[in-house]
Structure 1
Amino acid sequence: MIETIDEAGIAVLRLNHGPVNALDLELLAALPGALADVAGAPAVVLTGAGRCFSAGVDLKRIVDGGPAYVAEFLPALSTAALALFDHPRPTVAAVNGHALAGGCVLAAACDVRLMSAGTIGLTELAAGVPFPTVPLEIMRHAAGPVADRLVLTADTVDPAAAHAAGLVGAVVAPEELLGEAVRRAGRLAATPADVYALSKEQLHRPTRQRIDAGRPLDDPRVLELWSSPATHAVLREFLASLARR
C-alpha cells in the first residue's frame, strides 16, 4: 500500500494502491505510520506508483460505505495530511502523474513539489463535496491566492501551468523526477535538523492556528454535507459521468 525505499539515505514513500492510488480509509490510515517509521531519516520523498501520484478520494467507497464510512474517512484524511504537513524533516513531493483532489492536498502538504506529468488540482466542488478545514488550510498555505481559484473552479492544470502559478516548484522530465526529488531533499537535509524543524514550525504556525480555530466550526457541517443523501446522489452521477468518458 505504501512502499518504503532508501535512496541515498533519503526515505522514499511510494503510494502503491490500485491503478490510480485512490485515497481510501486504509491508505490514509497507513500514511502516518509510514512517516513515523522513517522518523529518523534526514528527509522524505513522497511519490506514486504507476501513472498517478494520486487521483484523489475513492468516491465509490464513500457512496458504498455511507455515513458510517464517511465519519471515519474524513478524520483520517485530515490526520494523514497533517502528519505530512507537520513532519519535522524536509518533505518533497515527486508528482509523477495526476494529483487530484486529496492527491493534490497530499502534494501540497510537502515542503517542495516537483512535477513531471499529468494534471494537478482540486476537484472536490466538481464532485459536489466541500473541504474539511485541514485540507483547505494546507492548500491556502501552499498555493496562496491561487487557492481560491483552485477550490472554487475545480480547475486542473498541467505541470507548466502549475509551475507558473507557484503550485509546483519545478517541472522535471519523468525519467529524472525521482533522482531530482532525492537530490533536493538531500540539500534541504543539510540544514541542522533542529533549525529546519523550528523554521518549518514557524512558517506553519498561522495555518495551524486557522486549523485549530476553524475545525470546531466547519468540520461538523462538512461531515453533514458529505454524509447527506443529496450529496451521495450527486456523487453517483459524477462517477457515472466519469465512466462515460
Structure 2
Amino acid sequence: MIDTADHDGIAVLTLRHGPVNALDLELLTALPEALAKAAGARGIVLTGSGSSFSAGVDLKRIIDGGPTYVASFLPALHQATLALYGHPRPVVAALNGHALAGGCVLAAACDLRLMCGGTIGLTELAAGVPFPTACLEVMRHAVGPALDTMVLAAGRLTPEQAASIGLVHETVEPGLLLTAALRRTEALCSTPPEVYALSKRQLHRPVLERIAAAAPSEDPEVARIWSAERTARMLSAYLTSLRRS
C-alpha cells in the first residue's frame, strides 16, 4: 500500500494503491504509520505509483459505506493530513501525475512540491462535498488568496499554472522527478534538524490554531453533509459523469 525505500537516509514513500492511488480508510491509516516508521530518516519524499500521485478520495467507498464509513474516514483524512503537515523533518512531494481533491491536499501538506505532469486541483465542490477544516487550512497555507478560486471553481491546473500560484515549486521532466525531489530534500536537510523543526512549528502555528478553533463546530457539519443520502446520489452522478468524459 505504501512502499518505503531508503536513499542515503532520505525515506521515499510511494503510494501504491489501485490504479490512481485513491484515498480510502486503509491508505489514510497507513500513511501516518509509514511516517512513524520513517521517523529516523533525515527527510521524506512522498510520491505515487503509476500515472497518478493520487486522484483523490475513493468516492465509491463513501457511497457504499455510508455514514458508518464516513465516521471513520474523515478523522483518518484529518490525521493523515496533519501527520504530513506536522512532520518535523523536510517533506517533499514528488507529484508523478494527477493530484486531485484529497491528493492535492496531501501534496499541499508537504514542505515543497515538484510536479512532472498531470493536473492538480480541488474538485470537491464539483462532486458536491465540502472541505474538512484541516484540509482547507493546510491548502490556505500553501496558496493563500488563490484558495478561493481553487475551491469555488473546482478546476484543475497544469503544473505550470500551479507553479504560477506557488502550489508547485518546480516542474520537471518525468524521468528526472525522483532525482530532483531527492536533491531538493537534501538541500533542506542541510539545516540543523532542531532548527528546521522549530521553524516549521513557528510557520504552522497559525494554521493549527485556526484548525483547533474551527474544527469542533465546522467538522460535524462537514460529516453530516458527507453522510447524507442526497450526497450519495450526487456522488453517484458525479462518478457517472467522469466515466462518460
Calculate the TM-score normalised by the size of structure 1. Answer: 0.99
Note the aligned Cα RMSD (angstroms). Answer: 0.5
What residue is the counterpart of 1:218 in the other structure?
218
What residue is the counterpart of 1:183 in the other structure?
183
| Residues 93-172 of structure 1 mapped to structure 2, 5 A cutoff | 93-172=93-172
What residue is the counterpart of 1:10 in the other structure?
10
List gaps (5 residues or longer) in structure 2.
Answer: none
How much does 1:166 deviate? 1.1
Amino acid across the alignment from 2:70: V
1:201-244: CA deviation from partner (whole Å, max 9, x where unpaired): 00000000000001011000000000001111100100111111
CA distance in 1, matches of 2:216, 2:164: 35
CA distance in 1, matches of 2:163, 2:63: 34
Calculate the TM-score normalised by the size of structure 2. Answer: 0.99
Amino acid across the alignment from 2:23: L
Amino acid across the alignment from 1:37: K
The share of aligned pairs that are identical, in percent, is 64
Amino acid across the alignment from 2:146: V
List gaps (5 residues or longer) in structure 1.
Answer: none
CA distance in 2, matches of 1:194, 1:13: 23
Q: Does 1:194 align with 2:194?
A: yes
Partner secondary structure for residue 167 of structure 2: coil
Q: How many residues align?
A: 245
CA distance in 2, matches of 1:147, 1:223: 22
Partner secondary structure for residue 6 of structure 2: strand
What residue is the counterpart of 1:59 in the other structure?
59
Partner secondary structure for residue 113 of structure 1: strand
CA distance in 2, matches of 1:205, 1:67: 32
Amino acid across the alignment from 1:182: L
Question: Which aligned segments of 4 or more residues in structure 1 are displaced greater than 2 angstroms?
Answer: none
How much does 1:8 deviate? 2.7
